[in-house]
Every structure is written in C-alpha cells, then in structure tokens.
Amino acid sequence: MANHSRHTLHHLRQLINRDPDRFSTNVYSRMFAIDPDLRDLFPAVMAGQRDAFFRVIDHILDVIPAETGHTELVEFLAQLGRDHRKFGVRPEHYEVIYRALIDEFAYLLGDHWDTEAEETVAQAMMLTTGVMRGAAETAPMPALWTARVVEKFRITRDLAVVRLVTTAPLRFAAGQYLEVHVPQRPRLWRNLSPSIPPNPAGELEFHVRAIPGGAMSGAIVAETRPDDVWTFSQMHGTLRVDPSRPVLMIAGGTGLAPLRALLIDMARRADSPPTHLFYGMRYPGELYDLSVLRRLAATNPWLTVTAVSEETADPWWITSPNTPEALGIEHLVGTLADVVPLAGDWTERQVLIAGSAGMIETTRRRLLIAGVPGRLIQHDPVH
C-alpha cells in the first residue's frame, strides 16, 4: 500500500478516535437519512450498537495499512456479514452504509479529502461492505430456523431446563453453541449450548441459569412456556474430542452443557478415550446434573466423574437429594482452578474447559503452570 494511502487511513483512525460515539452516531444518521426504514431494524437504544460499530471500523482502519492480519480481517468480516442476516440486513443495505461511511469520512478529512484519499477510503470500505455482503449472499445454510418448546422445568430457583423439537435439520456438532432468539426478548440474540448432541428426532435441550441482569437468561427461566417458538441462527464453537488421547473435561456451572453433549455423543461410539470430568458449582446441592452423569459413568467405563463445590455443605435454602455423597460420586471442595490441577497428572491429556470467562482463564493458567501444554487445552472464545 502506498505511503499516502497508509497515512490517510492512520489519519482517519485518529479522527474517529477523538469522539467514537459521534462518529457512529453520524454514520447511522446518514444511513437513516438515505433510507429511514432501516431504523426499524435496530433496537430503540443504540449506545451499545454504536460502540460495537466503532470498534469494528477502528479495527479495519488499523489492519488494512498493516503488513499482516489481512486474512483474519477478511474472515472476521465474512462472519460478521453472515451474522447480520439474522438482524434482517439485506445485500442492498450495504450500499447504503457504504455511502454513509464515505460521506462521513469525507466530512472528517475536510481539506485532506482529495482524489487519492477518496480512492483509498473507497477501496477500504468497498472491501468491508463487499466481504460482508458477499459472505452473507454465498453462505450455504438458511440464516434462520425455528424449534418449538415442548417442556420446561425449573431445577433450582434460577436454573431451568428447556426442551424443544424442530423439523429443520439440526446443523451443529456436539459441543458447539447456537445463536438463539426467544419471543420474550425481541431483537436480542444470545449464545446457548445444547446439552445433548444433535439427533434425528430434532430434539434440543438447554440448561439456562438466570444471570443477574441477564436480559435473556432471566426471561427464559421466568417466562418460557411450552409452544413458544425459538429462532436459531448460526452455530459456533470448536470444542471436540480427539479419540486418540485421554481427556480431561472441566465444567463450571451451566458450562457443563457442551461437555455433556460431547459425552453423550462419545457414549454412542466404540472408540472413546478415558475421560475424567470435573463438574463444579458453588454448593454441592447445585450440581443439578449429577444423577445423569452418574448414570452415564455407570454404563460407560471410560468415564470418571468428580464433583467439585466451593462450599462443603448446602445452605438451608438448597434441598437437593442429589448430593455427591448420596450418589456415591467423589467430591472435592474448592474452586475448579484450585482443585483440578492437584487431582492428577494431566500433562498427557487433551483438556476441554467450559464455564464463565473468569473460570476458564484461571483454570487454563493453573493447568499451564501444572505442565499441561497450551496446545492441548481447548475452550470456546471468552466473552
């Protein structure tokens, strides 16, 4: 890339960083001025949206003039374009945002907006919108599919199991997560991991914990009813088991779901490697799935399950008969990050971790310190 072009993109980046919110607001205003109907695609409050939009444009202006990172940028934009289908964005909308971006950049550069600058910026934005649009148009699967809730029950005050059936072919692998939309929260999409592998009957199961302040999880636990129709978009996630190496699985809370789906999938195979699952919660009585895991371990000799809780005993408000002791399952006390590295030699194992961002990070760090090679540790992106 010519020096002049590089300089133009650096300069623009500095300009938009002076007032990111103003930049995004202006681009959206220009877009809605060209086509007012587009406003309906967005939620009423757009602050978070503006922030996300700014960060992507800032990233693009940073990477295009750089020596490396172009392949990753193109893949990132392609994924963003495929994701945009579920927001109702159509190919022709990219021409509108292209126009809005170019107009805003011309305004920002002022006297510096000459033919060369225009060409540089046009190329960068053509790449951005072209890749997003192209990926959305060529993506092979339908953008959206639906499933109907057939059953929901609460396991604890804040934890629910939801079962659904769909007639659409299930396009995900055990261990992956799906983008989900529920009728109680229009326009909101969240990632949820099915807790069973895909099956020919089209059954889906999710374990959802209401997180304080979590708009979707709270609505599911409190309001989901049979016959609700949930919409699904794409699947993501790369957790998988290599049958040639023993496995260590570490599940924090409802992070159990993808690992449970993998275990059920492994139970159908003849070549499953020795697997040790550590399943942790704060209180022993919150380990809601222990009885299912015990059944799974009883019929699959390659599987060992250890329960982990931060507290030794339950508080008075938890009354679960399924404590580790009652089920005859080994029970260790502490956090997963403290307990698991000391519970065995894991240096030869492939390790799969699922849970909260904090839990994943600390556990991964402790395992690295305990000598587990980083390349053997898998977890999904930490949000």
Scan residues 118-147 and list those touching ligand HEM (CB under 6 A).
Answer: 128-129, 132
Contact flag: residue 84 with ligand HEM (CB under 6 A): yes
Q: From the CB of 143, what's the least distance to ligand HEM, in Å?
A: 13
Contact flag: residue 97 with ligand HEM (CB under 6 A): yes
Q: From the CB of 62, what's the least distance to ligand HEM, in Å?
A: 13
Looking up tokens 């983008």, which residue turns up? 179
Contact flag: residue 43 with ligand HEM (CB under 6 A): yes
Distance CA 197, CA 174 (A): 5
Q: One symbol per residue from 146 to 175: x for binding ligand HEM (CB under 6 A), - otherwise; what is it?
A: ------------------------------
Distance CA 337, CA 351 (A): 13
Contact flag: residue 53 with ligand HEM (CB under 6 A): yes
Return the percent helix, strand and coil in the chain, to nearest 5.
Answer: 45, 20, 35
Pick between residue 38 and residue 296 the one whose CB is nearest to ligand HEM. Answer: 38
Pick between residue 77 and residue 247 the one whose CB is nearest to ligand HEM. Answer: 77
Q: From the CB of 174, what's the least distance to ligand HEM, in Å?
A: 24
Pick between residue 220 and residue 377 the one whose CB is nearest to ligand HEM. Answer: 220
Bridge partner list, 231: 146, 181
Distance CA 35, CA 22 (A): 20
Which of 9, 12, 16, 38 forms a contact with ligand HEM (CB under 6 A)?
38
Looking up tokens 């299912």, which residue turns up? 292
Pick between residue 35 and residue 118 the one whose CB is nearest to ligand HEM. Answer: 35
Distance CA 302, CA 300 (A): 6
Pick between residue 38 and residue 135 the one whose CB is nearest to ligand HEM. Answer: 38
Which of 1, 15, 34, 56 forms a contact with ligand HEM (CB under 6 A)?
56
The first and second tokens of residue 377, run together, are 């540790």
Nearest in space to 300 (alpha carbons), one of 329, 278, 270:
270
Q: One symbol per residue from 175 to 204: x for binding ligand HEM (CB under 6 A), - otherwise; what is it?
A: ------------x-----------------
Which of 5, 24, 26, 83 forms a contact with ligand HEM (CB under 6 A)?
83
Pick between residue 39 and residue 245 the one whose CB is nearest to ligand HEM. Answer: 39
Burial pattern 47-68, b for ≥16 Cβ within 10 A else e, equals eeebeebbeebbebbebbbeee
Three-state secondary structure string covering 110-165: HHHCCHHHHHHHHHHHHHHHHHHHHHHHHCCCCCCEEEEEEEEEEEECCEEEEEEE
Three-state DSSP at 55 gives helix
Four-CA torsion 110, 113, 117, 123, nearest 10 degrees: 80
Which of 93, 260, 364, 366 forms a contact with ligand HEM (CB under 6 A)?
93
Where on the chain is the footprint of ligand HEM (CB under 6 A)?
38, 41-43, 49, 52-53, 56-57, 83-84, 87, 89, 93-94, 97, 128-129, 132, 187
